Amino acid sequence: MSTTRQPSEESGVAAPRPRGTAFLLAQLGAHAAGRFAERVAALGLTPPDVGLLRMIATRPGLSQRALATELGVVPSRVVTLIDQLDGKGLVERRRSTEDRRNHALHLSADGQRVLAEIGTVAGEHEADICAGLDDAERAVLTGLLERIAERQGLTPGVHPGYRGMAKGRPR
């Protein structure tokens, strides 16, 4: 193992190692997402679960269809995810009285407790990731990230991972 780490004597191609801001963002983002996944796994949840719970808490009574649209996900996937959360007793499906095709989604009491735990975990996660930066630096960083996010047209609070993108399969 271990050879010296030099810019290809063979190919003569210049430094192929990615060092740009965009790569750092992707690298750090994947790291942060992974760490967060580990933390919520301790609560028996996956990141998508957390996203659904938060969305339902914010907009109780939402239909599965609306949720799918909101998150940019296919309806059948919402079924699977809600099935699991329902099975754990965290969310309830209530048949709408007006249109009985609809399932109005609500957090159960347990769901609300779990949501509170998620908040705690998210705080720890935030502190971990930002460790080493003082308050001023965090503010600067957050400001710059928000500007990029807005410029890129990202919906606040919606992780692109829900959209099954970030794969890019050619051939």
Partner DNA sequence: TATTGTTATACTCTATAACTATA
Partner DNA sequence: TATAGTTATAGAGTATAACAATA
Residues lying near DNA in the complex (CB under 7 A): 46, 48, 63-66, 68, 73-80, 82-83, 93, 99-103, 161, 163-164, 167, 169
Residue 101 contacts its own copies per CB under 8 A = no
CB 159 within 8 A of CB 51: yes
CB of 69 to its own copies, least distance (A): 6
Stretch that binds its own copies, among 61-69, 71-79, 90-98 (CB under 8 A): 61-69
Of 70, 65, 116, the residue nearest 90 (C-alpha): 116
Helix (H, G, I), strand (E, B) or coil at 47: helix
Helices 64-71, 75-87: axis angle to 10 degrees equals 120
CB of 102 to DNA, least distance (A): 4
* Minimum separation from the CB atom of position 93 to its own copies (A): 15
